[in-house]
Amino acid sequence: MAQITDRTAVPRRYLMCRPTYFDVTYSINPWMDPEKPVDRELAVLQWERLRQLYLELGHTVELIEPVPGLPDMVFAANGATVVDGRVLGARFRNEQRAAEGPAYARWFRENGFTQVRDAEFVNEGEGDYLVTRSWVLAGCGFRTDPASHQEAQDFFHRPVIGLRLVDPRFYHLDTALAVLGDDEIMYCPESFSPGSRAVLRRLFPDAVLVSAEDAGVFGLNAVSDGYNVVLPQAATGLAEQLAARGYNPIGIDLSELLKAGGSAKCCTLEIRASGPDGTGATATPARTACVV
Ligand code: ARG
């Protein structure tokens, strides 16, 4: 495969939620242990660094007001999926997070989005929906109901590719796969069913294949702007792979949030307005950035 070194960062618009009420008081994934103490102040600090980094990279960061009693609300990625300005609201599998769906939907309605859909089927937003240039990749197996995939396809007018997750540690698609840009992705094959692996190989023959070790430190919970890839700093092997592909990996420490089973991508909901070419990319001029 030809080595590509020219990558272009495209400024993004993100929605984030400060972890003011972050805590681990229940367990809905194998990372969460309510017995283990959480340092909320440190969580806020780590989250602030992530937000600051996005601003330095030239992105826009919108904030939603955190709600007391919703300790997982910091994981904004789960709040909705936004493609071409159309917002598919989240509908959570677990009762503990149910109130987050309406809270995020309200934010979109109050911020000028007119196409906001209250979901019919369980879906955990960008936790399980990831958008490439050609497709919407959709996880199932732990949280999002496969029936939601059809709902998303009808709503977004984009082909939705269903992918089955098989490892409970990687319960959301965004813990097992990340979009790097256009139709380029990275993923950990072991996290998917044999059939889904075959589909990924077919659609993305040049994908970055990620080791179980790097996936195990949440390396795939990454946010790419097409050039800069923000990812957990412990995923060192993956950072090398990305650099070899011409990306700029930027490691970040979000250890407190990992206690709830989340990292960079989980904290970041991308707001995709419709792009000039209809790709759903942000309609702002592209630029190249390099921040180490
Ligand atoms: N504790 C949260 C849950 O289990 C973590 C969500 C992480 N978010 C994500 N996009 N993977 O639902």
Span 144-164, pLDDT tens digits:
999 999 999 999 999 999 999
| CA-175 nearest atom, ligand 1 | 11
The residue written with tokens 């826009």 in the block is 60
**Ligand 1 centre and the CA of 73: distance in Å?**
9
Dist. CA 286 → ligand 1 center (Å): 31
Residue 1's contacts (CB-CB under 8 Å, 6 or more residues apart) are 206
Residue-averaged pLDDT of the chain? 93
What the chain holds in terms of domains, given with CATH numbers, is 13-279 (3.75.10.10)
* Residue 287: pLDDT over 80: no
Residue 132 scores a pLDDT above 80 = yes
Q: Looking up tokens 């098989």, which residue turns up?
A: 166
The Cα angle at residue 291 between residues 179 and 271, in degrees rounded to 5: 40
- Tokens (6 digits) for 97: 């997070």
CA distances from 222 to 47, 67, 78, 185, 275 (A): 14, 25, 14, 11, 22
Alpha-carbon torsion (111, 116, 118, 119), positive or negative: negative
Which pLDDT score, from 0 to 100, does residue 223 have?
98
* Ligand 1, atom 8, residue with closest C-alpha: 266
Q: Quick one: pLDDT band at residue 286, thresholds 50, 70, 90?
A: very low
Residue 30 neighbours by CB under 8 Å, 6+ apart: 168, 169, 171, 261
What percent of the chain has pLDDT above 90? 91
Cα separation, 208 vs 235, whole angstroms: 14
Token digits of residue 169: 């540690």
CB of 72 within 6 A of ligand 1: the answer is yes
- Asked if the model's pLDDT at residue 284 lies above 50, the reply is no
C-beta of 260 in contact with ligand 1 (< 6 A): yes
Does 55 score more than 70 pLDDT? yes
Say if residue 185 is exposed, middle or buried (CB neighbours under 10 Å; 0-12, 13-18, 19+).
Answer: buried
CA of 6 from ligand 1 middle (Å) equals 33
Active site residue 266: yes
The dihedrals phi and psi of 17, each to the nearest 5 degrees, come to -135, 115
Element (H, E) at 100: helix 100-110
* The model's pTM: 0.92
